[in-house]
């Protein structure tokens, strides 16, 4: 039995299960029971051993053979952005055919108020459907003629029905917005309903009437409840584009009111091109590094540190200019001086190279070891840059955006390129700290089990095995990345992401055993009971608790 030295009775005891505590492999029989007191793990071991920690006021539950794992921590999610509109949007994660997906629009329209927008904003891609396509404007018109409908596939394309075009004030005479394109029929010049680019997406989404701050707060809480049902107990929010301080108000209000059930670790991004240093300097000037409490804490600067250093999905030629690199160096110095971790989005090795040059320059004056600098994605990173990254003690946050985009990426990067995208085995061999996440809610699905499935078997949802076997993870290593690995980003790997005695009691009881279920069942795993700090935040009622 692994236990703390304190022998006081436990608050909660769970028996008759299978407990994966994480960390180093333990010799001997697999633990079957877990004890919790004052929000932390007291011990794990056999039923007989753990039962001895029960007192007259202990709650004792029967797991009925279910698997217990540390609570999942998504190492890269845009939850602050996604929360305020969560209850106003549909999600097509897990839908396998267009006909069924379209039926959700009809059902939503039947329940909506007159004129209310019906929308699906990212988190899915046409390749997951048997039809391998998005809906047409005509299909949306026929299905939902009286409500504006907006359906966006990742950041690739969006389709509007006629009511949505009217509501957004768009017709055949409307010029393309900056950074976007409105598709027109080449013969008639009429709008097809398909739009492309961030400029077009934002043009339409900005025309949707906002909701009250109270509703945004409730929506954010509802998002966390849905994520708890998947076994998530923590999120590292990556910031991202368009995230000025006011975008955090719904989350902060939930936190102030004592309603925050998800442990949030926040990376803070520059919102306005050309103002990056000033904006990030303001964040750092008014906020000490790692400021917060166990539920909400500022984690670092990123993932948008400088707009000129962000290579998006890496599918088009991209170069970091000398001016952008100079500003990145300036910001990196300032972050290191203040003791702030930094995370930067970088897909292409051509982008990673000048970023690491900036970091190495800082590293010569202010050692970065221990500051938890990291790259998100690093899909095309070279062996040379892996060595440079390792020399500074920097990490990589893996995500599953290629589970949808692998075919497009291979077309851009060359046949066979996805066999080493990302080069996971080389990252492990170099000793790179690895975290894992989804990049949800728009760039990918919010389902952590889909991300774990992708890490393990290297498939994309179009059914093609892309990544070579040596770059696929074991189930244990993938789960380690999704728990303690993500906790590394906020200096918490010793006390979160594990069920070691003394660690925070954040865990999930799974619907199926992640370690033995057929691999294609992994995306369908759910949590039967999710606990944060010893408090139940989700239950299906199947775990017997008095």
Reported as a single tens digit per residue, the pLDDT across 20-70 is 999 865 667 899 999 999 999 999 999 999 999 999 999 999 999 999 999
User: Per-residue pLDDT tens for 270-287?
Assistant: 999 999 999 999 999 888
Alpha-carbon distance 514 to 334, whole Å? Answer: 43
Rounded to the nearest integer, the mean pLDDT of the chain is 96
CA–CA dist 369, 317 (Å, integer): 32
For domain 213-490, give the CATH number. Answer: 3.20.20.140
pLDDT band at 183 (very low <50, low <70, confident <90, very high): very high
Per-residue pLDDT, 544: 77
State both tokens at 343: 């995370």
Percent of the chain with pLDDT over 70: 99
Class of the CATH-defined domain 88-205: alpha beta
Does 3.90.850.10 match the CATH number of domain 2-70+507-539? no
Q: 492: which 2 tokens? A: 């918490």
Report DSSP letters for 461-493, one per residue.
TTS-B-S-GGGSPPHHHHHHIIIIIHHGGGT-T
The Cα–Cα gap between 330 and 439 comes to 27
CB–CB of 515/69 below 8 Å? no
Strands (E), 114-238: 118-121, 149-153, 157-160, 181-184, 191-196, 232-237
Say if residues 193 and 148 touch (Cβ distance below 8 Å): no
The CA–CA distances, whole Å, from 19 to 30, 33, 38 equal: 7, 7, 20
pLDDT digit string (tens) for 290-309?
Answer: 999 999 999 999 999 999 99
Asked if the model's pLDDT at residue 333 lies above 60, the reply is yes
**Contact status, residue 522 vs residue 453, Cβ threshold 8 Å:** yes
Predicted pLDDT of residue 9: 94
Whether the per-residue pLDDT at 378 is higher than 90: the answer is yes
Question: Residues 459-469: pLDDT tens digits?
Answer: 999 888 899 99
pLDDT at 78 exceeding the cut of 70:
yes
Is the pLDDT reported for residue 216 higher than 90?
yes
Q: What is the pLDDT of residue 222?
A: 98
Query: pLDDT tens digit string along 6-31?
Result: 778 999 999 999 999 998 656 678 99
pLDDT band for position 335 (cuts 50, 70, 90)? very high
Residue extent(s) of CATH 2.30.40.10 domains in the chain: 2-70+507-539
Strands (E), 306-413: 343-346, 374-377, 395-399
**Percent of the chain predicted with pLDDT > 90:** 95
Numbered ranges of CATH 3.10.310.70 in the chain? 88-205
- Position 65 scores a pLDDT of 97
Q: How confident is the model at residue 5 (pLDDT cuts 50, 70, 90)?
A: low
SS3 508: strand
SS3 assignment, position 455: helix
In the prediction, which pLDDT does 311 show? 96
The confidence score (pLDDT) of residue 26 equals 64
Place of tokens 């899915």: 124
H or E, element range at 79:
helix 79-82
Mean pLDDT of 477-501: 97
Q: What mean pLDDT do residues 162-176 have?
A: 97
Dihedral sign, Cα of residue 217, residue 218, residue 223, residue 225: positive
pLDDT of 23:
82
For 235-253, write each residue's pLDDT tens digit.
999 999 999 999 999 999 9
* Structural Rg of the chain based on CA atoms: 24
Here the tokens at position 323 are 């001016």
Those residues whose C-beta lies under 8 Å from the C-beta of residue 115, and which sit 6 or more positions away, are: 147, 148, 167
Task: Report the pLDDT value the prediction gives residue 28, as an integer from 0 to 100.
Answer: 78
Query: What is the side-by-side strand order in the sheet with 296-301?
Result: 72-77, 232-237, 263-268, 296-301
Q: What is the pLDDT of residue 12?
A: 97
């Amino acid at each position: 039995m692994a236990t703390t030295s304190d022998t006081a009775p436990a608050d909660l005891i769970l028996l008759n299960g299978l407990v994966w505590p994480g960390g180093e492999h333990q010799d001997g029989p697999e633990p079957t029971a877990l004890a919790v007191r004052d929000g932390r793990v007291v011990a794990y071991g056999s039923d007989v051993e753990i039962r001895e920690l029960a007192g007259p006021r202990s709650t004792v539950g029967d797991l009925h053979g279910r698997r217990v794992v540390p609570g999942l921590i998504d190492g890269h999610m845009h939850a602050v952005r996604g929360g305020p509109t969560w209850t106003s949007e549909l999600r097509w994660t897990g839908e396998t055919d267009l006909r069924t997906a379209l039926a959700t629009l009809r059902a939503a329209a039947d329940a909506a108020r007159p004129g209310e927008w019906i929308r699906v904003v990212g988190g899915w891609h046409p390749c997951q459907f048997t039809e391998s396509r998005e809906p047409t404007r005509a299909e949306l018109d026929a299905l939902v003629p009286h409500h504006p409908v907006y359906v966006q596939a990742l950041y690739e394309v969006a389709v509007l029905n006629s009511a949505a075009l009217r509501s957004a004030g768009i017709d055949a005479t409307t010029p393309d917005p900056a950074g976007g394109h409105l598709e027109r029929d080449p013969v008639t010049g009429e709008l097809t309903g398909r739009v492309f680019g961030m400029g077009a997406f934002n043009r339409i989404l900005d025309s949707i009437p906002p909701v009250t701050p109270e509703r945004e707060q409730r929506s954010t809480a509802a998002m966390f409840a849905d994520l708890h049902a998947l076994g998530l107990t923590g999120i590292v929010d990556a910031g991202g584009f368009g995230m000025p301080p006011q975008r955090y108000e719904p989350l902060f209000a939930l936190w102030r009111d004592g309603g925050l059930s998800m442990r949030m670790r926040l990376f803070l991004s520059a919102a306005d091109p050309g103002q990056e240093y000033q904006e990030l300097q303001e964040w750092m000037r008014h906020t000490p590094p790692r400021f917060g409490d166990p539920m909400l804490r500022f984690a670092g600067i990123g993932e948008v540190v400088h707009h000129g250093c962000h290579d998006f999905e890496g599918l088009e030629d991209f170069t970091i200019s000398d001016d952008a690199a100079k500003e990145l160096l300036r910001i990196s110095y300032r972050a290191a001086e203040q003791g702030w971790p930094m995370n930067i989005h970088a897909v292409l090795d051509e982008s990673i190279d000048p970023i690491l040059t900036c970091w190495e320059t800082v590293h010569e004056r202010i050692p970065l070891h221990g500051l938890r600098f990291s790259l998100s994605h690093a899909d095309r990173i070279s062996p040379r840059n892996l060595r440079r990254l390792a020399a500074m003690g920097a990490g990589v946050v893996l995500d599953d955006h290629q589970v949808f985009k692998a075919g497009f990426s291979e077309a851009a990067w060359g046949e066979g390129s996805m066999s080493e995208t990302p080069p996971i085995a080389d990252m492990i061999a170099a000793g790179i700290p690895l975290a894992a996440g989804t990049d949800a809610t728009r760039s990918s699905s919010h389902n952590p089990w889909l991300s774990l499935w992708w890490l393990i078997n290297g498939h994309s949802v179009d059914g093609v095995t892309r990544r070579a076997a040596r770059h696929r993870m074991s189930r244990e290593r993938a789960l380690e990345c999704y728990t303690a690995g993500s906790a590394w980003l906020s200096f918490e790997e010793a006390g979160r992401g594990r069920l070691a005695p003394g660690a925070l009691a954040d865990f999930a009881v799974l619907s199926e055993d992640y370690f033995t279920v057929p691999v294609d069942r992994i995306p369908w795993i759910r949590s039967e009971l999710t606990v944060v700090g010893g408090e139940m935040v989700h239950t299906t009622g199947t775990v017997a608790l008095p």
